């Protein structure tokens, strides 16, 4: 499949209110006529909370079931992260839900120490690369964006995804790093962020965007609430990779720690 229609939902989040957020995203997802992949922000059901004890769900909880139901109903994949409790630990867990309702998961590796995330959540270790409709997709979460070694394109993935709650005060870093990840990995890179203010007083200006493998915008950063869909063309990406061959010159390395 050469074309992958990708929809980014940029919206405010209701603090620690699963039902209100699910209702909001249901309305926005139902407004999408046709797409292959829907991107939701980090911790889309709660906001970026450091109080997982009060809001964590299980993998059989309502938000996971909701993602499955929406994916089946819209016949597309949906991804975003949730606060998940499992085996006595809490995880900032990204789910990639396929159109048939099955899913795979990635636990955020780089926990945001500036907010004390590592004190409340357990870090993941393994990177996830998904095969979907002929595309290789690598989904990551927010702070992962600052660590290029972990997102280095060692397996020729076509699309790098970041779901985030990235605050306005550091939005220039978000813009710069998304372009950098796209260019150095010669892949499409999409970042979805929230807007509004959370209960900690942090402001969010969105800047959800899509960048191609040469660093050009397919969707320029925007700061308003909207649902926007972009068509990604794998044939064009393959042509650019063949023409320039930058990935052939990448260094070999082993990731530790």
DSSP string, the chain: --EEEEEEEE-B--TT-HHHHHHHHHHHHHT--S-SEEE--TTTTT-S-S-HHHH-B-TTSHHHHHHHHHHHHHTSEEEEEEEEEETTEEEEEEEEE-TTS-EEEEE-SS--GGGTGGGTS--------EEETTEEEEEEEGGGGG-TTTT--SS--SEEEEE----GGGHHHHHHHHHHHHHHHTSEEEEE--EEE-TTS-EEE--EEEE-TTS-EEEEEE-S-EEEEEEEEHHHHHHHHHHH-GGGGPPP-----
Taking the C-alpha atoms of residue 162 and residue 142, their distance in angstroms, rounded to an integer, is: 6
Sorting pLDDT into bands at 50, 70 and 90, what band is 240? very high
Asked about 142 being catalytic, the answer comes back as yes
Taking the C-alpha atoms of residue 26 and residue 29, their distance in angstroms, rounded to an integer, is: 5
End-to-end CA distance of the chain: 36
- Inform me whether the pLDDT recorded for 45 exceeds 80: yes
Averaged pLDDT of the chain: 97
pLDDT in tens, 70-82: 999 999 999 999 9
> Which residue in 42, 57, 117, 184 is the catalytic one?
42
Pairing state of beta strands 188-192 and 195-197? Answer: unpaired
Asked about 108 being catalytic, the answer comes back as yes
DSSP string, 193-225: --EEE-TTS-EEE--EEEE-TTS-EEEEEE-S-
- Cα 56 to the center of its chain, rounded Å: 19
- Inform me whether the pLDDT recorded for 139 exceeds 80: yes
> Which residue in 16, 28, 76, 108 is the catalytic one?
108
Asked whether the whole model's pTM tops 0.85, one would answer yes
164-to-29, 50, 92, 142, 253 alpha-carbon distances in Å: 18, 15, 11, 4, 27
Least Cα distance to 253 among 150, 116, 134 occurs for: 150
**pLDDT on residue 254:** 86
Task: Give the other-Cβ count within 10 Å of 129's Cβ.
Answer: 16
For residues 115 and 50, the answer to whether their CB atoms sit within 8 Å is: yes
Mean pLDDT of 238-257: 91
Q: Please tell me the CATH code under which domain 3-249 is placed.
A: 3.60.110.10
The full set of domain ranges for the chain reads 3-249
Taking the C-alpha atoms of residue 97 and residue 80, their distance in angstroms, rounded to an integer, is: 9
> Which residue in 142, 184, 187, 234 is the catalytic one?
142
- Inform me whether the pLDDT recorded for 105 exceeds 80: yes
Task: Please give the order of strands across the beta sheet that includes 103-107.
Answer: 103-107, 89-97, 77-86, 37-39, 3-10, 226-233
pLDDT in tens, 175-191: 999 999 999 999 999 99
Tell me the backbone φ, ψ of residue 29, rounded to 5 degrees. -65, -40
Asked about 42 being catalytic, the answer comes back as yes
Longest dimension (CA), the chain: 52
């Amino acid at each position: 499949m050469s074309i992958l229609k990708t929809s980014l939902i940029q919206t405010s989040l209701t603090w620690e209110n699963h039902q209100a957020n699910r209702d909001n995203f249901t309305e926005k997802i139902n407004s999408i006529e046709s797409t292959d992949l829907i991107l939701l922000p980090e911790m889309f059901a709660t906001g970026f909370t450091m109080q997982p004890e009060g809001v964590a769900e299980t993998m059989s909880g309502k938000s996971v079931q909701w993602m499955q139901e929406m994916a089946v109903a819209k016949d597309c994949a949906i991804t975003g992260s949730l606060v998940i409790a499992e085996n006595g630990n809490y995880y900032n867990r990204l789910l990639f839900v396929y159109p048939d309702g099955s899913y795979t998961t990635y636990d955020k590796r780089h926990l945001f120490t500036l907010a004390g995330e590592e004190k409340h959540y357990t870090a993941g270790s393994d990177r996830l690369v998904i095969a979907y409709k002929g595309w290789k997709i690598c989904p990551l979460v927010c702070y992962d964006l600052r660590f290029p070694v972990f997102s280095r394109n060692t397996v020729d993935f076509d699309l790098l995804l970041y779901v985030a709650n990235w605050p306005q005060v550091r939005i220039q870093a978000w813009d710069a790093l998304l372009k950098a990840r796209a260019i150095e990995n010669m892949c499409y890179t999409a970042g979805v962020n929230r807007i509004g203010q959370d209960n900690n007083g942090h402001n969010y200006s969105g800047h959800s965007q899509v960048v191609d493998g040469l660093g050009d915008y397919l969707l320029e950063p925007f700061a308003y609430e909207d649902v926007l869909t972009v068509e990604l063309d794998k044939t064009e990406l393959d042509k650019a990779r063949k023409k320039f061959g930058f990935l052939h010159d990448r260094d070999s390395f082993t990731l530790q720690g």
